[in-house]
Amino acid sequence: MNFPAELRYTKEHEWIKVDGDVAIVGITDFAQGELGDIVYVEIETVGQTLAENDIFGTVEAVKTVSDLFLPIAGEILEVNQTVIDSPETINSDAYGEGWLVKIKPSNLADVEALMDVDTYKQHIGL
Amino acid sequence: MEQTEQLKLVFLNDVHVALGAKMVPFAGYSMPVLYTNLIQEHLAVRNSVGVFDVSHMGEFVVKGERATEFLQYVTSNDVAALYDGKVQYSCLPNDKGGIVDDLLIYRRSENEYFVVVNASNIEKDWNWMQSHNTFDVEMQNISDGISLFAVQGPKGVATMQKLTDLDLGSMEYYTFKEGTVAGIENVLIATTGYTGAGGMEVYVKNEDAKTMWDAIFAAGAEFGIVPVGLGARDTLRTEMGYCLYGNDIDDTTSPIEAGLGWITKFNKEFVNSAFHKQIKENGPTKKLVAFEMVDRGIPRQHYEIMDATGNIIGEVTSGTQSPSLNKGIGLGYVAKEFSKLGTEIYINIRNKYLKAQVVKLPFLK
């Protein structure tokens, strides 16, 4: 399993990457592996400003449904149409083509409070 | 049942763990739900061959001069239609209008049957059958000593044929033979299964289970045989619309409502048969229907089924994304007036009413 060092992580197995004043959010390699084949992604919160840990969407594997929790407060700017059209992209490239949303963080510094890669690895027992 | 009851293990538990299977509690057993990838396992069965260890299933032997009479009374299907070597799908009706369990009945002779029941219901079925045994029938629960492998898929028969001189190719659907398979004597091998993909089910004593498992995988290597978990077992059976006890049928559902009229025969008397006959004659007020999603979405067990104006008309009992069809499919009970083929219904998926259509089974033609 792959966990890039430049990302921050959450207990709910999302990752976040800051890119200027925007942040990109996805689910981790661990999360996609646990879910198995992802067959459906529903994110209908574009334009909404949500709080930290609010549900911003849902991913479904063949047998399971899993909510998506926003790592930090912010406005949902954009959904990755690739994962809507081809949900399996999350399985094959969780940190790249399989990103989920771009957000405008309410406070960029909130990212600093999230887990770094070593803490996240401990969290999942690696 | 004890609260602290430990999970039981199938005899080849260590084999599944060594294969890297994800093990989950199911029906009181620790069972392999997935080995590598659900969709790949599903498609291996649809396209070639895959093996399920379903040794958690329960097996009873029913013997005695009045064995046929006994089974006629406790089960809904017509046991008299069986002949030696024939298998029948049936159910055990309870006395409250529902179903104790669904089961398979294998006729070995007029006076001896082999009955296969769901793992979660072994004790319940045993007690139920015993409580109706006024026919001096001898019953044995041999569940803990038997391993069951389902070798399913279009290459399932060819795989097993490599291991035996028994002529498997000529066997009709839902029949069985007993003989030597993979050098093991007294193996029961049947053209049954729960996938709709063809193939066989093989019953062996636990002490022969490892030999049989290894022989099956060696024989199936040329067909790309893979072990398959319960996850794919569920998606495979859902694509065929096969009922799962606990989901689609239970202690409260009538076989007539569940679309199991074909295993409910009124040319004989059975437990509560008058009640079910009346349902059949009057028409059931609710029916189990199959539906496909028209809108994009995946139905799941317990989601509400609605009509076009938002009234709740039923509940989803089984639902999944179909790996073969790449769309959401499901089963659910609806009020009778919504059960006609082609009827538009709506599934409440996270408070959105997504359109679906009542279709004919199986989903996979």
Tens-level pLDDT at each residue, chain B (365 residues): 444 468 999 999 999 999 999 999 999 999 999 999 999 999 999 999 999 999 999 999 999 999 999 999 999 999 999 999 999 999 999 999 999 999 999 999 999 999 999 999 999 999 999 999 999 999 999 999 999 999 999 999 999 999 999 999 999 999 999 999 999 999 999 999 999 999 999 999 999 999 999 999 999 999 999 999 999 999 999 999 999 999 999 999 999 999 999 999 999 999 999 999 999 999 999 999 999 999 999 999 999 999 999 999 999 999 999 999 999 999 999 999 999 999 999 999 999 999 999 999 999 98
Reported residue count of chain A is 126
Q: From the CA of B7, how many Å to the nearest CA of chain A?
A: 22
Subunit contact B234:A63, Cβ cutoff 8 A: yes
Question: Model ipTM?
Answer: 0.85
Q: Residues B182, B151: contact at Cβ < 8 Å?
A: no
Q: Which residues of B touch A63 (CB under 8 A)?
A: 38, 231, 234-235, 320
Subunit contact A36:B34, Cβ cutoff 8 A: yes
Q: What percent of chain A shows pLDDT beyond 70?
A: 100
pLDDT for the residue numbered B69: 98
Reported residue count of chain B is 365
pLDDT for the residue numbered A57: 97
Q: Which residues of B touch A34 (CB under 8 A)?
A: none
Strands of the A101-105 sheet, one edge to the other? A8-9, A14-19, A22-27, A101-105, A74-79, A49-50
pLDDT confidence of A126, banded at 50, 70, 90?
confident
pLDDT for the residue numbered A1: 87
Q: Is the pLDDT of residue A38 over 70?
A: yes
pLDDT for the residue numbered B1: 43
- Which residue, chain included where needed, has tokens 């921050």? A8
Nearest to B38 among A36, A40, A58 (CB): A36
Domain architecture of chain A: domains with CATH: 8-107 (2.40.50.100)
pLDDT for the residue numbered A47: 97
Nearest to A37 among B39, B296, B297 (CB): B39
Q: Least CA distance to B234: which residue of chain A?
A: A63
Q: Is the pLDDT of residue A77 over 80?
A: yes
Considering only CA atoms, which of B229, B161, B172, B167 is closest in space to residue B195?
A: B229
Strands of the B99-109 sheet, one edge to the other? B87-93, B99-109, B112-117, B58-63, B138-141
Subunit contact B298:A40, Cβ cutoff 8 A: yes
Q: Which residues of A touch B350 (CB under 8 A)?
A: 42, 58
What is the pTM assigned to this prediction? 0.93
Each residue's pLDDT tens digit, A5-26:
999 999 999 999 999 999 999 9
Q: Residues A32, A49: contact at Cβ < 8 Å?
A: no
Q: Which residues of B touch A39 (CB under 8 A)?
A: 298, 321, 326
